[in-house]
A and B are shown apart, each in its own frame.
Chain A
Amino acid sequence: MLDLQSLAVGYRNARGVVLSGIDLAAAPGDFVCILGRNGSGKSTLMRTIAGLQPSLDGIVLLDGEVVASMRPATRARRIAVVLTERRLNPGLRVDDVIALARQPFTDWQGGLADDDRAAIADAVAVTGIEPFLRRFFSDLSDGERQRVMIARALAQTPHLMVLDEITAFLDLPSRVEIMALLRSQARENRQIVLLSSHDLDLSLQLSDSVWLLDGEGGFSVGTPDALSRSGALGGAFDTDAIRFSPADGRFEIKTSGPA
């Protein structure tokens, strides 16, 4: 169970508070999409939930424990992240990258035990990355890299997975594939999956619930249907050029002037 209680996220510098007064919850098996335009605070919120950045106020609870006060090693066993950052060190092979996911569970040497190998094998199997296990990570295509990083997060056997704009560099079939994979993993392993995305269409079709950031510090929460009917989606994304059409469930380009 993930609980955000009167959470405020942001920075202790000029950028200040990004979002505040957040009270949200997600249950095991939930596939939650966080939507919002650039700069609406998606990444800040996700980093705070994952315990990678201190909150300005309020707390994040995972299974009843405050994430910010967990020991780093404990937190690493429960929360896995996938980020847009793709600058790994040179010389890392795919199997190394995935094996590193088990570090929170291994002894001081980082050697793999049987259950570590089993978790790795499962993650490799469901993501279908077997063919490039021995290749250098830096030689992979964007889609392959993201799949490897998702396999890495799955191999960490977390209770909560936080994935930040991981589909940004992928083509449409890969995006569908990866989001469907994450959704089924959430269901099967009873994990909470939080995914931020620009990808409205897919997110609305696949997610159990949507956290929508309107870019001005406000947010609304609901099922995809409820949000599109209430006009909240339009409020967050409409510009001079496009508007959300609740009837069709998608965006349309505004025609200039009367028809």
Chain B
Amino acid sequence: MRRYTSSAALVAALAALSLLTLTYGQIALPLADTLGALTGAQSTDLARQIVLDIRLPRVAAAIIAGGALGMAGVLMQALFRNPVADAWSLGLLAGGQLGVALTVTAAAFAGPAAVSFLTFFEGPSITLAAAAGVAIAAFVMLAVGRRVGAITLLVIGLMLGFTSQGLTSVLLHFAARAGGRVYGGWQDASFAGVAPEALPWLALPIVIGICAAVATAKPLSSLLLGETYARSLGVRVTSLRHAVLAATVLLVAPVVAFCGPVSFVGLIAPHFARALAGTARILPLLPLAGLGGALLALAGDAIIHAPWEQHFLHLNAILAIVGAPVVILILIFSPAVRQWR
């Protein structure tokens, strides 16, 4: 029961925060105008344009990406048997960035035709490039994870992430010199850069990824007992690992491609979900972690888009200010990670 009341409360909070985010910003809109623009009823042209073209895509991107990262965090923490695993901390997001950077650089050096091809099919091609990078990073971390402890794996993941991000920065620098700015984004994570027509490309792989996550939830719960126990419960562990990895890539790659390396959301959301659900079984955690991740991402977005004077704050700065202390508290106080210290 607690699961359903928690979910309902999270949905309500998400709806309220969405509405709030739609009304305020550099130009504050009356709630009536905002609702009018959303429902297609009477509203001013300005309100309609601001709400539908600018703020709604941003809010939608934050909810979709945050939800995807939260659910991917649940999958990864179970798969890696690591309470601080998520797509960001284990370098999967940075791997995805590197994948995109390599593709963009290759296109820039191949010539204008390749660049215009890439620009024309920006949605799918950038997502595919990110998916390749995420998948490779995930395979590497899975191989490393079998040899080292949980905290060592975290450190290696962070280091791998820094390496990938450094390479990405250098590659994009040369790509810009060779072929103009093909892909400008991502010195920081942001939900504001997602154009309305890009939203389906963000959402579609994530929806498939959610289906895959739900389908693997039962055997993945068995894997919480360890590999041998999982096999004794009838789980085919190797194919399960591949399926969970595929789900993770589907959830994470579009987020990297369109929103950049959104930090901490996927790491924290599963811990809140476990506390709310009172269980570590995967299926009940997925909706709670998804909603929690969406709420966290949207809250971060709401803070940076508050009417500060003349400039926006950086999303990852806000997420780090909130997220890093929470991770420290989890590492020190959470009974769930006591045995890993």
Contact = CB atoms under 8 A, between A and B. Distances in A.
Given A91-B280, A136-B336, A76 B234 contact: yes
A72 B238 CA distance: 13
26 contacts: A71-B234, A72-B234, A72-B235, A73-B234, A76-B232, A81-B229, A83-B228, A85-B228, A87-B81, A87-B226, A89-B78, A91-B83, A91-B274, A91-B280, A100-B221, A100-B224, A101-B233, A103-B219, A104-B233, A106-B218, A109-B217, A110-B217, A110-B281, A136-B336, A136-B338, A138-B339
Contact of A97 (B223, B225, B278): B225
A100 B231 CA distance: 12
A90 B336 contact: yes
Nearest to A164: B228
Nearest to A86: B226
Interface residues of B, number: 34
B225 A104 contact: no
Given A85-B228, A85-B229, A109 B218 contact: yes
A100 B279 CA distance: 12
B283 A109 contact: yes
Given A72-B236, A81-B232, A89-B78, 10 more contacts: A87-B226, A89-B225, A100-B221, A100-B225, A103-B233, A104-B234, A108-B215, A109-B218, A110-B281, A138-B338
B340 interface: yes
Nearest to B218: A110
Interface string B196-236: 00000000000000000001011101111110110111111
Contact-size category for A? 35 or more
Nearest to A74: B234
A112 to B, nearest CB: 11
A103 B340 contact: no
A75 B283 CA distance: 24
Contacts of B226: 85, 87-89
A87 B232 CA distance: 16
Interface string B262-295: 0000000000001000111101000000000000
Contacts of B283: 109-110
Nearest to B231: A52
Contacts of B229: 81, 83, 85
Nearest to B275: A91
Contacts of B339: 90, 138
Nearest to B84: A90
A99 B218 CA distance: 12
Most buried by B among A50, A83, A100: A100
A139 interface: yes
Contacts of B215: 108
B184 interface: no
B289 to A, nearest CB: 12
Contacts of A99: 281
B221 A103 contact: yes
A108 B214 CA distance: 10
Contact of A79 (B218, B221, B225, B232): B232
A80 B232 contact: yes
A195 to B, nearest CB: 16
Nearest to A85: B226
Nearest to B224: A89
A96 interface: yes
Interface in A41-85: 50, 52, 71-77, 79-81, 83, 85
Contact of B81 (A76, A85, A89): A89
B225 A88 contact: yes
B200 to A, nearest CB: 28
Best-surrounded residue of A76, A85, A90 (most CB of chain B within 10 A): A90
Chain A CB within 10 A, most for which of B279, B280, B283 = B280
Contacts of A101: 233
Contacts of A80: 232
Contact of A93 (B223, B225, B234, B278): B278
Given A89-B78, A90-B83, A139-B338, A103 B234 contact: yes
A92 interface: yes
Nearest to B335: A136
B326 interface: no
Nearest to A89: B224
